[in-house]
Structure 1
Amino acid sequence: MKCLIFVAIFAYIYAVQAAVYLEEKFNDDSWEKNWIYSKHPGKEFGKFVRTAGKFFNNEEEDKGIQTSEDARFYALSRKFKPFGTEGKDLVVQFSVKHEQNIDCGGGYVKVFDCSLKPEEMHGESPYRLMFGPDICGPGTKKVHVILNYKDKNVLINKDIRCKDDVYTHVYTLIIKPDNTYEVQIDGEKVEGGELEADWDLLPPKKIKDPEAKKPEDWDDRATIPDPDDTKPEDWDKPEHIPDPDASKPDDWDDEMDGEWEPPMIDNPEYKGEWKPKQIDNPAYKGAWVHPEIENPEYTPDANLYKQKEICGLGFDLWQVKSGTIFDNVLITDDVEYAKKALSGLKDTQEGEKKAKEELDKAEKEAASSEDEKKDDDDEDDDDDDEESNNVPPVEEDHDEL
């Protein structure tokens, strides 16, 4: 009974403490009041438009903000009430729909502290973390997870593949107070582990002993040339020889053309450079391993996860081909709340796929109809030309002359 009471109390305390710091679904045009475009000089920034795109499951519910201009930088952000993550989970979640079948461009968000000035935001503005998909050609299709630690941006040292189709996908980053993390796509874990292990946030625990050196008599050659092996006497043959079947052309003039020499061909008897055969090295001691020592510069940090202050989120992107739709932006410390926010995702994806199939079919039929119309027009033009060529000449009335 006491155990049940404790669980209930814990659940109540968690429910009270859990908070949603930012939730943006772009439900109506009021989003423009909260989000601010950068006016940083030197770049031509593109605009976002609120839309569900060309194909969708539910037009009104699926509306987000879409990049609308090709070959543009995008810089849009908003601020909210600041919070810290001490002792709390941090969840950053949002949806991305690369409707344009993106060839090169970002689909990530940046999370800022309160030093952010939205109207001045640009690519070098300091941020606390960057998260989300990035695609550029066949070689770059990954999920960025970049953490700022002691004013240095540090990339994750794992390769996380992102989705590269044209449908809506949700990206979730969870950072926990035990210094672990998890990356999810569509609610499924795709990567996770320890912050210290998967980012170079701290110096390594151990380093190679600078005083240690491989002994001079250490032999790490697994095999050696056989000292008793000798090169055969008939080994040395030239690599190329004069072509024995070649003959001087009849019109060759020694005075004009110089002394004739037959062309060279590969020598079939050439054996290459001789090398003695290899045998096991009786003095082999194995590969020498450099001994390690504790790194005097290493200091553990139990607060790698902790963000002292967060109060801004922004889209700082470059896109060659526009059309990406962002939606359902969420920052919270409630993992369960973020999970529940994904409840309608499968319906959205299935609806999009069905709508995309119908759209493709309609476009194909329209294109086929247009081709048929063009062919008909060409035939009509040919008929007109043929009729004009068959018009009989006008005969003169000689009686009237």
Structure 2
Amino acid sequence: MERRLRFLYTLFIVAVLHTSRISTQDVDDFDADEATVEIENDPAPPIDVPYESPVVSDKSKVYLSDHFDDVAQFNKRWMKSRAMKEGISEDIAKYDGVWEIESPQKDGLTGDLGLVLKSKAKHAAIASLLTKPFVFNTKPLIVQYEVILQDGQECGGAYLKLLSEGPDTRNLAQFHDKSPYTIMFGPDKCGNDHKLHFIFRHRNPLNGSIEEKHCKKPKERLEDFFSDKLPHLYTLIVNPDNTFEIKIDRQVVNSGSLLEDFTPSVNPPAEIDDPNDKKPDDWDEREKIPDPEAVKPDDWDEDAPAQIVDEFATMPAGWLENEPTHIPDPNAKIPEDWDSEMDGAWEPPLIDNSACENAPGCGRWEPPLINNPNYKGKWRAPLIDNPNYKGKWRPRRIRNPDYFEDKEPFKMHTVSAVGFELWSMSKDILFDNIIITDDIQVSEQWAADTFDKKRQKIARDSESLVQRIANLTNEYPILWAVYIIVLGIPVVFILYLCCKPSSSAASLVKASTVSQVGEGDAPRKRKPRKE
């Protein structure tokens, strides 16, 4: 009996495990009359999601799109910088960071490649011309790209720069940190400072000077995006009405106005403090002053102490005046290397006197101090309203000579190239699927063809066994018949064996019946006993 139960229990466990190993291909070939279950001992391989390099349907709305899947096309389009950084020693001024086209280290789609910054602690720069310049006029600017911090991020950036049209963008081999840019956008981190940059350079219409405007910080937490080593999609949308949105993984994390949410402000104040205005010497800013007519009372003793000895205190009963609080350690021994001539006379260290443990105190008793009822401290005249008070002095306001009002900061300098100019203490930063467009639907479709598939694969690969079975069953309800057959039969057998009488018990019942009834059908009559 026990051997049968163990066998059936093992069969039941194997059936459950084998049912969970049914692949999607098996379900596609599933025949209602014949079910095939593949038995595998190895863990299930990651689920592959079909991937094809994305294609832009309407190229007129796109200024740059690159999936980095075509190495030959990449080599034609992108230029690695050969410039030197200014103001630092020549041995570290070179842009010698290594760029490669590679597939992701994990969770990658078949055929999907990305631009990888391989080196760390090196300056690296690479740039590409747009297919056509983007002019800030009546259409929005959408910048979108993916980042995978495959080695995490200790300190460094993963942002990109939209380079301003001009002489510098005509020679991208000299792209460096001082090359003029219009917008800088993307993640950056050093230590515990996590940032998502959106910086635009604004031109002063009065004097032509350029000033960087930094966007307010997002309210959302950014820490996980720098540590989870997953692909993340960064999207910047700048609208002609001077509004902006920043998204991570299609979720808005920051938004606002170019006019209101940047530091320093685009437009300076209309009035400023007069730098030549000086506070008059007789200007009195004191609201309260000591009463000049107040006189210290005759009984005010400034020399009285704050505390005095309690004259009514008595020494507690049991106080051991003749016992010191500390005594020499009787178990201490002079060190072997002690030199009396060099170290002086040796004295054992002091320890707490054990005789004082249960006493209220030891040693000389002194009465405690109490607050002095006659203490008043230093006398000061009471404060009264200042009759000469004129309020807090402020310089007079004058018209700001540098004032201007730019109502359309969206109309920035034309962009003609895009580039990465980075330094990082972490290696293997992967960039992928960059697109610059003026149509949000184009960027969303681009994300659906690339980023969404990556996250879909990661989600499927990370599903638990129970989730996979549930999802597969929802997709193919006919699997319920397989579950009933595979799992139901062992259960029926177990119930049958548990309820059926054992053979030994049946034999005992039969033997007992035969001994009572005999071979015939009628019961045996007992003969009367002779006396």
TM-score band (shorter)? 0.5 to 0.7
- Structure 2 CA distance, aligned partners of 1:27 and 1:17? 18
For structure 1, the residue ranges without an aligned partner over 5 or more in a row are: 1-14, 238-244, 246-267, 359-401
In structure 2, the residue matched to 1:73 is: 123
CA distance in 1, matches of 2:453, 2:378: 69
Match among 439, 455, 467 for residue 349 of structure 1: 455
Contact kept, 8 Å, 1:146 with 1:153, in 2: the verdict is no
Q: CA deviation at 1:99?
A: 1.0
Q: Deviations over 1:143-175 (max 9, x none)?
A: 122212225241415224643121111112222
For 2:178, the equivalent position in structure 1 comes to 124
Q: Higher relative CO (CA 8 A, sep ≥ 6), structure 1 or 2?
A: 1
Residue matched to 2:231:
168
String of CA shifts for 1:348-370, please: whole Å, max 9, x gaps: 23534776899xxxxxxxxxxxx
Q: Distance in 2 between matches of 1:159 and 1:281?
A: 47
Match of 2:67 among 3, 25, 50: 25
- Corresponding residue for 1:51? 102
- SS in structure 2 of the partner of residue 304 of structure 1: coil
CA distance in 1, matches of 2:452, 2:286: 58
Alignment CA distance shift 1:167-1:353 (3 Å)? farther
Structure 2 residue aligned with 1:208: 273
**Shift in CA distance, 326/280, structure 1 to aligned 2, threshold 3 Å:** farther
* Residue 146 (structure 1) aligned with residue 209 (structure 2): no
Who is 2:217 aligned against?
Answer: 159
**Cα pair distance change 1:95/1:220, threshold 3 Å:** farther
Aligned to 1:37: 80
Give the secondary-structure state (helix, strand or coil) at the position aligned to 1:172: strand
**Residues 269/83 of structure 1: CA separation in 2 closer, same or farther (3 Å cut):** same
Whether the 8 Å CA contact 1:37–1:77 is kept in 2: the answer is: yes
Q: After TM superposition, list the pairs within 5 Å mapping 1:186-205 onto structure 2.
A: 186-197=249-260, 198-200=262-264, 201-205=266-270
- Give the secondary structure class of the aligned counterpart of 1:102: coil
User: d(CA) in 1 for partners of 2:284 and 2:83?
Assistant: 61
Find the structure with the greater CA-based Rg: 2
Change in Cα spacing, 1:111 to 1:285, as seen in structure 2 (3 Å) is same
Contact 1:86–1:308 (8 Å) recurs in 2:
no
The SS at the match of 1:299 is coil
User: Alpha carbons of 1:185 and 1:100: their partners in 2 closer, same or farther (altered >3 Å)?
Assistant: same
User: Is the Cα–Cα contact under 8 Å of residues 150 and 230 in structure 2 kept in the other structure?
Assistant: yes
What residue in structure 1 maps to residue 14 of structure 2? none
The SS at the match of 2:447 is coil
Compared CA separation, residues 104 and 233, structure 1 to 2 (3 A): same
Please, what TM-score do these two structures have when normalized by structure 1?
0.66
Deviates more, 1:197-206 or 1:31-40: 197-206
What is residue 150 of structure 2 aligned with on the other side? 99
* Greater mean deviation of Cα atoms: 329-338 or 16-25: 16-25
Instruction: Deviation per CA, 1:76-96: give whole Å up to 9, x if none.
Output: 101022231212211111111
Query: In 2, are the aligned partners of 1:57 and 1:355 still within 8 Å (CA)?
Result: no
The residue type paired with residue 184 of structure 1 is K
Distance 2:295 2:110 in 1: 83
TM-score in terms of structure 2 length:
0.51
Q: 1:308 to 1:153 in 2, by over 3 A?
A: closer
Per the TM alignment, residue 290 of structure 1 is displaced from its structure 2 partner at its CA by 6.6
**Would the aligned equivalents of 1:18 and 1:334 in 2 still touch at CA under 8 Å?**
no
Give the superposition deviation at 1:207. 2.3
Corresponding residue of 1:60: 111
Matches of 1:45 and 1:220 in 2, distance apart?
A: 63
- Asked if structure 1 preserves the Cα contact closer than 8 Å seen for 2:199 and 2:215, the reply is no
Q: Distance in 2 between matches of 1:280 and 1:357?
A: 74
Q: Secondary structure at the match of 2:105?
A: coil
Q: Map 1:172-187 onto structure 2 (within 5 A).
A: 172-187=235-250
Q: Distance in 1 between matches of 2:110 and 2:393?
A: 65
The 2-side partners of 1:332 and 1:225 are apart by 71
RMSD (CA atoms): 4.1
Q: What is the aligned residue count? A: 317
Aligned mates of 1:176, 1:301 — CA distance in 2: 16
The answer as to whether partners of 1:144 and 1:155 remain within 8 angstroms in 2 is no
Report the Cα distance in structure 2 between the residues aligned to 1:183 and 1:220, rounded to whole angstroms.
Answer: 50
Deviations 1:287-342 (A, max 9, x none): 66777555342211133111342210001101222111101111111123223333
2:514 matched residue in structure 1: none
2:125–2:175 contact (8 Å) kept in structure 1: yes
Distance 1:153 1:298, change over 3 A: closer
Segments of 5+ residues of structure 2 without an aligned counterpart are 1-56, 85-92, 204-208, 308-323, 325-368, 465-531
Whether the 8 Å CA contact 1:224–1:278 is kept in 2: the answer is: no
From 219, 234, 241, the equivalent of 2:304 is 234
Aligned sequence identity (%): 29
Q: Structure 1 residues 269, 36: CA separation in 2 closer, same or farther (over 3 Å shift)?
A: farther
The 1-side partners of 2:139 and 2:95 are apart by 39
Amino acid at match of 1:38: S
The answer to whether the Cα contact below 8 Å between 2:146 and 2:451 also exists between their aligned partners in 1 is: no
Letter paired with 1:37: K
**What does residue 429 of structure 2 align with?**
324
1:220, distance to aligned residue in structure 2 (A): 5.8
SS in 2 for 1:204: coil
Of Structure 1 and Structure 2, the greater strand share is in 1
Q: In the aligned structure 2, how far is the partner of 1:18 from the partner of 1:277?
A: 82
Give the distance between the partners of 1:137 and 1:107, measured in 2 at CA.
Answer: 15
Answer yes or no: is the 8 Å Cα contact 2:81–2:95 preserved in 1.
no
CA distance in 2, matches of 1:37, 1:331: 20
Shift of 1:179: 1.9
What is the identity, as a one-letter code, of the residue corresponding to 1:202? N
Maintained 8 Å contact 1:57/1:350: no
Deviations 1:263-291 (A, max 9, x none): xxxxx9999xx777998874589866777
User: Residue 442 of structure 2: SS of its match in structure 1?
Assistant: helix
